[in-house]
A and B are shown apart, each in its own frame.
Chain A
Amino acid sequence: MMYHQMPIPSRSEHLWRYTPWSRIHPSTTDAVPDADEVVFSAVGGKTVIPRTPSMQPQGDIARAFLQAAGGSSSELSLHNESEPIHINARASGHVAVGHLHLDVKGSAVVFLHISGEPEWVGVHVTGTLHPNAHLAFGFINELDSNTKFLRCENWDIARDASLEHATLSVGGFRCKSDIRTSLNGTGSSVRQSITINADGSRHDDEHVEIHHHHGHTQSDLVMNSACGGNSHFIGTGLLTIAEGANKSDASQVFRNLLLSKKARAEAIPELEVLADDVSAAHGAASAPIDTEQLHYLMSRGLSPDEAESVIVNGFLYDAFSNITNKHLLEEMRTRLTVHLECELKR
């Protein structure tokens, strides 16, 4: 269905419960603005090439809106890349939209850094992992703190292919992210880590869907958020295991660390299981900083701010601990450290 034909989603849908479409749309929900292009450029040898925009009808309103708004459309083909590839996505102007498709054969490490100061930016990343492909993908959101950000991702993972996906979300003032992964072949797997650090009045809504369509598939999701100030974090997950997808193994963990009295966090990790021989589990926890840990660090000479920062660092680092690709792990942790040090100095 095209955007104008779609009804505005109701808040009874968990996906739109805390961040209704009207709050993430750049203007009024019936309008489709003329979008500027998000410019994708690869650093170090690889070239991002223009791609004909997809005209396939979309199943959900955010993707249909990004399609209708146009913007840039690019593609990157990857075959056994020896070095990590960094793609810079630069956005500016009033409304900017970009579509990026990754076609992966063999193994590759890709980082997508999004930065800039537009009022509104929307990015739709799609990825196809062919049989036996391995992709380590890092998404780093360092947008200006006044930017509204909509991010959609769709990943199709074929037989025996694997995706390691890490997100560091520290930019933008209102962010809505919707990442959907389909495990379409036997032996496929996805390992996903999301780290969110929110402060001030930042609003970050992260939705993750993982669909096990075949048996002998694996998924693992860890989402850690640390919320201070008046910030509001929402984590929603939908994990489905289709009928007959036996021997699937799925787990989801949502952890929220609340750093101030007015910070808020919501977690809805949903599970729909239609096969019997599976292992599926999810957990969610939310708590303030442990005062004993604070006391211990302060007794070693750290100021209260430094002690809190050490604990938050450790907590946010931990989200990436299930990543096995060393380039991905190193880069995500470095970016996180830089961000936290800047925060501490402020």
Chain B
Amino acid sequence: MTDDAQELIGDYKYGFHDPENSTIRFDKGLTEQVVRDISELKNEPEWMTDIRVKSYRHFVERVMPEWGNCSLLNMIDFENVTYFLRSSDKTEKSWDDVPDDIKNTFDRLGIPDAEQKWLGGVTAQYESEAVYHSIREDLEEQGVIFLDMDSGLKQYPEIVKKYFGTVIPHSDNKFSALNTAVWSGGSFLYIPKGVHVEMPVQAYFRINAKNMGQFERTLIIADEGSSVHYVEGCTAPSYSTDSLHSAVVELIAMDGAKIRYSTVQNWSSNVYNLVTKRAVAHRNATVEWVDGNIGSKLTMKYPSVLLKGEGAHAEVISVAYAGKGQHQDTGAKVHHLASNTTSNILSKSISKDGGRSSYRGLLQVTPKSTGCRSKVVCDALILDSDSRSDTYPTMEIGNSTSDLEHEASVSKVSSDQLFYLMSRGFSEEEAMGLIVNGFFEPFTRELPMEYAVELNKLLELEMEGSIG
């Protein structure tokens, strides 16, 4: 490994990689034929091939976004990306049947252990496709469908056809077009009417190969009066060349349903993480995005909620940590499309070692949506003079009956707080760690215990050497 690569990896504990033992690997670069080949390989129905081809054409025509970190975006070399890589011939239901090298990877990440203890179901995706998938029997008996997206399309084509691309059309943005053209893997989750899934279901995404593109597609439908908590984790090895992760996540919460979607993204610092996440909440439904961004080179992710039914509620809690060479361009978008809808957005970010964190948000109330309420709070900490923090909030208010608030502050760690803790016997570094953990506390308390502990550990690791 070169010194540069080692420097890039730093303390990133998931930076290991396994030898590539792929069964199918496409050549780098994207053409219409690649798109057709992916579809053919997966034996997909014709309508899906048509959607892929249409999306590919749109992707080619669509210009890059002219906002955000354009200089980093324009460095993406779409011709140097592998768009499909199959590591295992089938998705296993038993952990023992997963190929050894892949199993070792997930063992090191602690996935099977976590599943036994506290998860309702697990999907593990390695490169382009799921390699392992399981769901608790009692949930299956209640009619809960939890599959990887490819199997979902095969087994429930009518549901997928009905909802696929309805929340995020392929023409939404350049990266949603790319994802729709070459998507592979992801989760398909359907919760029948009135079923409450008590334990979280989890998906774990791992990129192992160099210059790999991972384009998972997730579709979650919570039918009337149901509830579910979906958790997603992401890691990748550290190479000196870049990888691309461009997912599309669509959530549909029917009347009275509740979906919570938690992510802790810890991609290595050579991954472009350009994700489109959007939910539709019907009457009295609740959608919650709990979004943690620790890794990646550039993240552009703005989980959004379309509050379509009266009484619907959206909650977005996000934290971002931008370290050396990182730009976390994150935020939230809530569209109040119906009356008496409410939303709450809390965003926290830390910039350190020259990192840049940006909050970019949109809060929209349409003219006919009366009695809407919303509150947005953004707090940013800057830990040294090389770092940067931005906020770009947008509020569009279309009528006089809505009550909206936005507040944001940027500051450094208070010297009073540091002094107080140090007077109680903590070293400066420990005191700083405590303050930072406390700063992120509103986020960590919303995570399942195991993730919260992991996040605190990650932050401690990132904070090491931040003093002096």
List which B400-434 residues lie within 8 A (CB) of chain A. Answer: 400-412
Query: Which of A106-114, A184-192, A256-264 lies at the binding interface?
Result: A256-264
Contacts of B384 in A (CB 8 A): 276
List which B186-215 residues lie within 8 A (CB) of chain A. Answer: none
Task: Let me know if A281 and B400 touch, CB within 8 A.
Answer: no
Task: Let me know if A10 and B66 touch, CB within 8 A.
Answer: yes
A280 CB, nearest partner CB in chain B, Å: 4
Encode contact with A along B389-409: 1 for CB under 8 Å, 0 otherwise.
111111111111111111111
Task: Let me know if A267 and B391 touch, CB within 8 A.
Answer: no
Q: CA separation between A260 and B380, bound complex, in Å?
A: 35
Q: Is B383 in the interface zone, CB < 8 Å from A?
A: yes
Q: Is A275 in the interface zone, CB < 8 Å from B?
A: yes
- Whether A268 touches B401, Cβ cut-off 8 Å, given contacts A273-B388, A273-B410, A278-B411, is no
Task: Let me know if B397 and A271 touch, CB within 8 A.
Answer: no
Task: Let me know if A270 and B390 touch, CB within 8 A.
Answer: yes
Task: Let me know if A286 and B403 touch, CB within 8 A.
Answer: yes
With beta carbons under 8 angstroms apart, the residue of B386, B398, B408 that contacts A282 is B408
Q: Is A269 in the interface zone, CB < 8 Å from B?
A: yes
Contacts of A265 in B (CB 8 A): 395, 397
Encode contact with B along A136-157: 1 for CB under 8 Å, 0 otherwise.
0000000000000000000000
Encode contact with B along A232-248: 1 for CB under 8 Å, 0 otherwise.
00000000000110100
Q: Is A180 in the interface zone, CB < 8 Å from B?
A: no
Q: Is A55 in the interface zone, CB < 8 Å from B?
A: no
Contacts of A258 in B (CB 8 A): 397, 399-402
Q: Is B233 in the interface zone, CB < 8 Å from A?
A: no
A271 CB, nearest partner CB in chain B, Å: 4
Give the size of the chain B interface in residues (CB under 8 angstroms): 36
Q: Is B67 in the interface zone, CB < 8 Å from A?
A: yes
Nearest to A274 among chain B residues (CB) is B388
A54 CB, nearest partner CB in chain B, Å: 29
Q: Is B312 in the interface zone, CB < 8 Å from A?
A: no
Contacts of B404 in A (CB 8 A): 284-287
Q: Is B343 in the interface zone, CB < 8 Å from A?
A: no
Q: Is A52 in the interface zone, CB < 8 Å from B?
A: no
Q: CA separation between A245 and B187, bound complex, in Å?
A: 47
Contacts of A275 in B (CB 8 A): 382, 385
B353 CB, nearest partner CB in chain A, Å: 12
Contacts of B385 in A (CB 8 A): 243-244, 246, 275-277
Nearest to B68 among chain A residues (CB) is A12
Contacts of A279 in B (CB 8 A): 409-411
Secondary structure at the A interface, as helix, strand, loop or mixed, is strand
Contacts of B386 in A (CB 8 A): 243
- Whether A261 touches B401, Cβ cut-off 8 Å, given contacts A266-B395, A280-B409, is yes
Nearest to B388 among chain A residues (CB) is A274
Encode contact with A along B2-46: 1 for CB under 8 Å, 0 otherwise.
000000000000000000000000000000000000000000000
Q: Is B367 in the interface zone, CB < 8 Å from A?
A: yes
Task: Let me know if B408 and A281 touch, CB within 8 A.
Answer: yes
Q: CA separation between A284 and B392, bound complex, in Å?
A: 12
Nearest to A241 among chain B residues (CB) is B410
Q: CA separation between A279 and B382, bound complex, in Å?
A: 11
Task: Let me know if B395 and A268 touch, CB within 8 A.
Answer: yes
Nearest to A245 among chain B residues (CB) is B385
With beta carbons under 8 angstroms apart, the residue of A243, A262, A276, A288 that contacts B412 is A276
Task: Let me know if A285 and B411 touch, CB within 8 A.
Answer: no
With beta carbons under 8 angstroms apart, the residue of A12, A14, A269, A287 that contacts B403 is A287
Contacts of A244 in B (CB 8 A): 385
Q: CA separation between A258 and B403, bound complex, in Å?
A: 10
Nearest to B66 among chain A residues (CB) is A12
Task: Let me know if A264 and B408 touch, CB within 8 A.
Answer: no
A225 CB, nearest partner CB in chain B, Å: 11
Residues of A near any B CB (own CB < 8 A)? 10, 12-14, 243-244, 246, 256, 258-288
**Cross-chain pairs A/B with CB under 8 angstroms, 5 sampled:** A14-B394, A243-B385, A263-B399, A284-B406, A288-B403
Residues of B near any A CB (own CB < 8 A)? 65-67, 367, 380, 382-412
The 9 closest A-B pairs by CB, nearest first: A258-B400, A284-B406, A281-B409, A276-B382, A283-B407, A280-B410, A271-B391, A288-B400, A267-B395
